Amino acid sequence: MDPINRGPEEYGHGTDRPGDDAGRRRQSRDPLTPDLGHQTPQQSRTVQLISGDFLLTVNPVDGSEIEPCRPGERPDAPVRYTAAQRVERERAAAPPVPPGPPAPQMPLLERQEERERLVRLLARGRSVCLTGPAGSGRTALLDAVAADCADLAPDGVVRLSGYKRSAAELLHALFEAVHSAPLHRPDREQLLSLVRGIGAVVVVDDLELGGAALQELLDATPECAFLLAATPDVSAPAADANLEEVFLTGLDRSASIALMEHVVERALTDEEANWAGDLWFESEGLPLRFVQAGALLRQRDDLRAGQDAFDGYEDDPADAPFGRVEPAGLPLPSLGEGAAPAALLASRLSEAARETLRFAVALGGEVPHQAHLPALVGDTHADAALGELALSGLLSPAGSRYRLAAGVLAQLEASGYDESADAHARSAAQHYAWWAGHPSVTPERAVAEADALLASMTRLVPGDAPGQASVAVLLARSAAPAFAAGMQWGAWEKVLRAGLEAARIAGEVAEEAYFHHELGVLALCAGQLDRARAELEASIGMRGALADKAGAVAGRRALALVADRSGEPLQSTPAGEEVPAPRHDESASPPSGVPEAKPLFPRLTDTSATLIARQEPPRPAPSAGRMGVIRGARRNLVAVGAGALLAAVLGTVVTLGATSGSEDPDGQNVTTEQSASEDDGENGLPADEPADDTATDEDTAGDGPESPGPSGTASPSTSGSPSPGTSSPGTSPETSASSSGSPSDRPTHDSPSPTKKPTKTPTTPPDTGTPSETPTDPESPDPTPSESETTTEPSMSDSASGPAETVTASATEEESASPTTA
């Protein structure tokens, strides 16, 4: 650049112009398009794991696919964790530390005797059940005993949570805590053989098992010593169980006051000590009540300190008309508020903490993880609310998460925190549905929030508000694959059943078929073949109705495995041979198949009897088809009748012909040869026309009365002139000549009936009437008929095509043209 002479580029008029580099600037924004505009669809998360002898592919789209595991795909033998790995896993499974100032560590007061006893029993390999009411400090005592027993067993101490867990789930959790077997879930037999060799001190808090289920857990792990913690409402173990039971009671008055002073971090005044003594009598010395009471006193101190700090910025109103205003003192809580302090404690917390409590009440006491609170509450600093709640004694640890402390849920519900529980549960379900289906969320993180997810579905599924069931279906659809991939199949089954019920309520058949399929696969993995068959058949039927071929094929493959395991033949339709779903313009095919098509009119034979029956069709047919069947039946009846009549007529004709041939003279026989002139007709010679017996017969039978000629006689259209000579009796004329229209002096003679068989079967029965009169002159008022000479023979012979008149004696053209008189 020239420092003296400025170039055009310095003023923005150089080679780079807006029109020239517009395309280049648009290309520079293209990398931002996938993030801000059209985003590519996310890939579905597919996980393959080994369950017993099966290879399970968790497919979130069409449903999980299961197949036998090939020998090369079988996993290696599980490997035990080392001591360092066990410590690291235990630290990761602990509840997260709430943000904010650290809470003071609570001392273990008046529990030394119970602690030593528990350690002695565990050192001797005995299992112990610690029974105490909620809030009696069972968790704190378990932590102290677990620390004392760290070196007692070769596999160390294993901490488990029994909250809403069955015996099978606890056995799988014990196996996962001791062995490293990624993506491998052993079946029942493999699990029992693996946990039988585990030697550890197993600490189970919040146990909900008892009776036979607890005995099953103890029998499956003979090398383990269990330290169980349960409430008195849990069923007692069996009488013959090798289990010691230790009861835990409350603290005495002095220990309770000492615990409260430790929470407040100062000595109590006499007024506060008296109040604590009354509370001890009311709460029976439960440590949780004194922790919460100490939180009330600490909040009271904070309020008083804040009021004093606010008064320090004010001027001394010496000239105030009423003198100096003394700060109003904060009285101690009442005894009722001290016994049930949840509502009072919550009223002194921040708005984010109170909103978190509303979500916890809506979720049945389950507190969402602190990472979800900013999205649920709508406050970026809402994660600090968890620290406020923990410091106030409203939360208690439950496994790797927190939930409301004992009695807090009922106290908050009585204070009106459940008024918008449905709305909060729906918001939590929508958030979890998006979160659980996100590809960045690992199955382990989804499993950690399983209780909160299930609690939100429990609130929505029986609800009557519109759209709640659909939200529950969406949440179950997103969470079920994550729970399956995380191998927490207890939570997987619960979410599938909740989703199935929600899909039925919402009327979503496709999702209902998906849940049936997943339940069938789960039952197959658990060895419950009858239940698996029922679920898979229901899924296949629904997907067949929806024309979901991919899902139906997956279901049939799983059903084939069920049939193979049970040893029963597969009764379902093979893949590709299912009856397609009917469209709206056609009827559905019957389930038993389409019947074989039969001819509508079976072939008739002369020897077999004809049965004309009408078969009722399965469905009403159109009217045109029914009329066609009726017409066809009538045609069959007419054909049979015409055939019988034709046989009778032919027999009669042959008999009459043979009889008349022997009696009539030869002169009356007429030959088939005729002589005619061109003047006889308008169309030329009659011989030019083709001799068609059928056409002639039809014309003769269909003609009406002949019209009289100009001379008063009826003249036929063609008059035959037989040539001299005789013909054989069996011959018949090719054209039929009509008889004379007037009586003549010479009597006429009928020719013998023809014996030639007609070539066409008539369609209508012939008229059997025999004319006995001949037309006379119209001027004659009283015509006299001319009778035939031969009275023993009929004057007309019937044929198949109709009545055919016989040709009379030969006459010349002049005689036929001459007039006759009466």
The tokens for 553 are 């094929």
**Alpha helices in 286-350, H assignment, sequence order:** 287-312, 335-339, 342-347
CA–CA gap between residue 222 and residue 200 (Å, rounded): 10
> What dotted CATH number matches 111-250?
3.40.50.300
CB 282 within 8 A of CB 335: yes
The dihedral built from the CA positions of residue 371, 377, 381 and 383, taken in this order, carries a sign that is negative
Give the tens place of pLDDT for each residue, 58-81.
988 888 999 998 888 788 889 999
The rounded distance, in Å, linking the Cα atoms of 422 and 455 is 12
Of 154, 148, 191, the closest CA to residue 172 belongs to 191
CA–CA gap between residue 592 and residue 406 (Å, rounded): 61
The residue among 519 and 302 whose pLDDT is bigger is 519
CA 65/CA 555 separation, integer angstroms: 8
pLDDT one-digit tens code per residue, 488-530: 999 999 999 999 999 999 999 999 999 999 999 999 999 999 9
- Supply the DSSP string of 235-298, one letter for each residue: PPPPTT--EEEEE-----HHHHHHHHHHHHTSPPPHHHHHHHHHHHHHHTT-HHHHHHHHHHHH
Reported residue count of the chain is 822
Query: Which has the closest alpha carbon to 515: 488, 544, 479?
Result: 479
Question: Which residues 6+ apart lie within 8 Å of 704 measured at CB?
Answer: none
Residue 570 pLDDT class (50, 70, 90 cuts): low
Question: pLDDT by residue (tens digit) across 145-199?
Answer: 999 998 899 999 999 999 999 999 999 999 999 999 999 999 999 999 999 999 9
| Amino acid (1-letter code) at residue 624 | A
In sequence order, the β-bridge partners of residue 229 are 130
- The pLDDT assigned to 131 comes to 94
The yes-or-no verdict on residue 559 having pLDDT over 90 is yes
Instruction: Calculate the CA 755 to chain-centre distance.
Output: 79
Q: How far apart, in whole angstroms, are the C-alpha atoms of residue 399 and residue 402? A: 8
Give the CB-side neighbour count of residue 214, counting CA atoms within 13 A: 25
Q: Are 449 and 387 in contact (CB under 8 A)?
A: no
What's the number of CA atoms in the CB half-sphere (13 Å) around residue 536? 31
pTM summary value? 0.64
**pLDDT score of 344 more than 60:** yes
